[in-house]
Structure 1
Amino acid sequence: MAELLDQSEVDALLAAVDTGQAPVAEAGPTSRIFSRRHAGNLGDIEIKPYDFKRPERVSKDQMRALENLHDGFARNFGAALSGFLRTIIEVKVANIEQMTFSEFTHSLPNPTCFNLLTAEPLDGNMCLEISPLIIYPVIDRLLGGSNADLFIPQRPLTAIELRLVQKIIDRAMSSLRDAWSNILPLTFKLVETESNPQLVQIVPPNEVVVVVGYEMKMGGRAGTMSLCIPYNVIEPVIEKLSNQTWAQYKRGRRDDQLRKRVADKLESAKLTLTAVLADTSIKLDDLIRLQVGDVITTENPHQLRCR
Structure 2
Amino acid sequence: MEKMLKQDEIDALFQAARTTTPAAVEDLDRSTSVVPYNFNRAGQISNEQLRAISMLNDLFARNLTHNLAAWLRCKFQVNLVSAEQIPFNEFLMRIPEISYVSSVRLEPLGALSVLQLDLALAPPIIDLLLGGEGREGPLRELTDIEEAILGSVVEIICRELTAAWQSVGLSFNFERRQMQTQVARIMSVTEKTLCLSFEVRMPQGSGLLNLAFPAVVANTILRRLTSDWGRHRRHAPETRASLETAARKISFGGCLQLPPVRLPACEIQNLSPGSVLRLNLSAAVPAEWRVGGQYLAPAEPVRHGAHRAARIQAPQEEPRT
**Would you say the 8 A contact 1:90–1:218 is kept in 2?**
yes
**C-alpha distance in structure 2 between counterparts of 1:197 and 1:256, whole Å:** 53
Alignment partner, residue 147 of structure 1:
134
Structure 2, unaligned runs of 5 or more: 1-21, 247-321
Post-superposition CA distance 1:231-286 (Å, at most 9, x none): 122333432222x623759x66x648727959xx9xxxxxxxxxxxxxxxxxxxxx
Structure 1, unaligned runs of 5 or more: 1-26, 34-41, 266-307
Query: For residues 86-235 of structure 1, what are the structure 2 equivalents within 5 Å?
Result: 86-148=73-135, 150-155=136-141, 157-184=142-169, 186-196=170-180, 199-235=183-219
Query: For residues 250-261 of structure 1, what are the structure 2 equivalents within 5 Å?
Result: 255=236, 258=239
**Would you say the 8 A contact 2:87–2:190 is kept in 1?**
yes
Aligned Cα RMSD in Å?
3.1
What residue identity is the alignment partner of 1:183? Answer: V
What residue identity is the alignment partner of 1:164? Answer: I
**Would you say the 8 A contact 2:101–2:116 is kept in 1?**
yes
**Would you say the 8 A contact 1:211–1:226 is kept in 2?**
yes
Query: Aligned-pair distance for 1:167?
Result: 1.6
Alignment partner, residue 236 of structure 1:
220
Query: Aligned-pair distance for 1:174?
Result: 1.4
Instruction: State the structure with bigger RCO (CA 8 A, min sep 6), 1 or 2.
Output: 1
**Would you say the 8 A contact 1:57–1:208 is kept in 2?**
no
Query: Aligned-pair distance for 1:214?
Result: 0.5
Alignment partner, residue 229 of structure 2:
246
Secondary structure, aligned partner of 1:153: coil
| TM superposition score normalised by structure 2 | 0.60
What residue identity is the alignment partner of 1:154? Answer: R
Change (3 A) 1:261 1:240: same
Identity rate, percent: 25
1:50 maps to 2:39:
yes
| TM superposition score normalised by structure 1 | 0.62
**Would you say the 8 A contact 2:126–2:134 is kept in 1?**
no
Secondary structure, aligned partner of 1:202: coil
Change (3 A) 1:238 1:86: same
How many pairs align? 218
Secondary structure, aligned partner of 2:39: coil
**C-alpha distance in structure 1 between counterparts of 2:57 and 2:152, whole Å:** 20
**Would you say the 8 A contact 1:129–1:227 is kept in 2?**
yes
Change (3 A) 1:139 1:205: same
**C-alpha distance in structure 1 between counterparts of 2:33 and 2:238, whole Å:** 45
Secondary structure, aligned partner of 1:241: helix
